[in-house]
Amino acid sequence: MEYIDLRSDTVTKPSRAMRRAISKAEVGDDGFGEDPTVNRLQEMMAKILGKEDALFTASGTMSNQIAIKVLTRPGDEVILEVESHTYNYESGAPPVISGVQLRPLRGERGILTQEQIAQTIRGPDTPYLETKLVCLENTHNRAGGTIFPLEEMERIWELCQSKGIKVYLDGARLFNASVATGVSPADYARYSDAVSICLSKGLGAPVGSVLAGDKEFILQAKRARKLLGGGMRQVGILAAAGIYALENNLERLAEDHQKARFFAEQVNGLGGIEIDLEFVQTNLVVMNLANSRLTVGQAIEELKKEGVLVVRFGSQRIRAVAHLDVSMKEMRKAVEAFRRVFR
Ligand SMILES: Cc1ncc(COP(=O)(O)O)c(C=O)c1O
């Protein structure tokens, strides 16, 4: 059966045109900094993010872990949101790789406030441990693709600057935030010491993430990437996909947001499905099934029988994601399937 796959924006497959770009890529040994396509991707991304330099990495998780490693020392405390990707889905890496202690705070829909962070920070005057890094996520995955407001990022940045605390932005889907709000990626990235972007989510590339920061940060990030086994060689064949994605798939993220909103409006209320439409801000749609006759497991099974794939998102929720490889027509078909399942 041909499924309409709404599980994630990571399920997209490289298009023919992207594959052509891959096959034409000029390559060299990136270990010597000699892959022209990787270098071009890194320069493009540094420019888009308004940072001095950038580094291609294997995954969003690797970018996050490199950034934490470079911006902290063992024994430091890192503040992050309790539902963040780093806290939930990265195999408990920060204490293992960087020896840091994580201090999760619960945000409102993934959004932390300056006040919350101010109340939590441990300064240099304590004999115990010191807060050295704050990690933010924009858009926020587990909160359903919510956008971190620029003004709050600025306030948090100012607080952290005044306390000598670094700020890292997990911007796996920062371009979704940017396309939705009109705020440039560089304006978001301005309020961070380092930022990462995923190429393999809404942008539709098969692999990769790019980490950006100042030159010193990127030099140290290269060492940390090597330590993690992430130094690669003729990797221009992957960077070419990233360049293609930046040149062709960025503005079109707006279409994914339209598809997600259409879908959310249509399925909200069907057979007890509850969606907080105010928080369908980008391409992710989180549906609460607490008041449905179907459990999450049953809903996933029934939808699969109807040709639609979605994922479990906690005990009472499922998630659907609009992306490059689902058309509006397929989105309509998915709505029909939901109508049959949630009669
Ligand atoms: C916000 C966020 N950060 C980081 C990642 C990790 O990306 P990867 O799967 O490439 O390691 C994800 C993946 O979904 C994510 O949603």
Ligand 1 pocket check for 81: Cβ under 6 Å: no
What pLDDT score was predicted for residue 149?
Answer: 98
What pLDDT score was predicted for residue 126?
Answer: 86
Distance, CA of 71 to CA of 80 (rounded, Å): 14
| Axis-axis angle for helices 16-24, 236-248 (nearest 10) | 140
With the most atoms of ligand 1 within 8 angstroms of its CB, the residue from 7, 61, 321 to mutate is 61
Q: Residues in the chain with pLDDT < 70? A: none
With the most atoms of ligand 1 within 8 angstroms of its CB, the residue from 198, 228, 238 to mutate is 198
Ligand 1 pocket check for 60: Cβ under 6 Å: yes
Burial class (CB in 10 A: 0-12, 13-18, 19+), 263: buried
Ligand 1 pocket check for 137: Cβ under 6 Å: yes
Please, what's the largest Cα pairwise distance for the chain? 62
Distance, CA of 225 to CA of 220 (rounded, Å): 9
- Using the mean position of ligand 1's atoms as its centre, give its distance from the Cα of residue 271 in Å: 31
What pLDDT score was predicted for residue 127?
Answer: 87
Distance, CA of 47 to CA of 54 (rounded, Å): 9
Ligand 1 pocket check for 170: Cβ under 6 Å: yes
Long-range contacts made by residues 92-96, C-beta under 8 angstroms, separation at least 24?
93/61, 93/64, 93/65, 93/68, 94/65, 94/68
What pLDDT score was predicted for residue 343?
Answer: 87
- Using the mean position of ligand 1's atoms as its centre, give its distance from the Cα of residue 198 in Å: 7
Matching residue, tokens 């397929």: 330
Distance, CA of 336 to CA of 332 (rounded, Å): 6
Ligand 1 pocket check for 61: Cβ under 6 Å: yes
What pLDDT score was predicted for residue 114?
Answer: 98
pTM of the entire structure? 0.97
- Using the mean position of ligand 1's atoms as its centre, give its distance from the Cα of residue 91 in Å: 12
- Using the mean position of ligand 1's atoms as its centre, give its distance from the Cα of residue 228 in Å: 17
Contact 211, 171 (CB under 8 A): no
Q: Tell me the CA distances in angstroms from 76 to 86, 225, 255, one per residue in order.
A: 16, 20, 42
What pLDDT score was predicted for residue 1?
Answer: 82
Task: Please tell me the residue having the least CA distance from ligand 1 atom 9.
Answer: 60
Count the residues in the chain. Answer: 343
- DSSP annotation string for 266-288: HHTTGGG-B--GGG--SSEEEEE
Ligand 1 pocket check for 172: Cβ under 6 Å: yes
Distance, CA of 193 to CA of 161 (rounded, Å): 10
Ligand 1 pocket check for 146: Cβ under 6 Å: no
Ligand 1 pocket check for 330: Cβ under 6 Å: no
Task: Please tell me the residue having the least CA distance from ligand 1 atom 16.
Answer: 141
What pLDDT score was predicted for residue 52?
Answer: 98
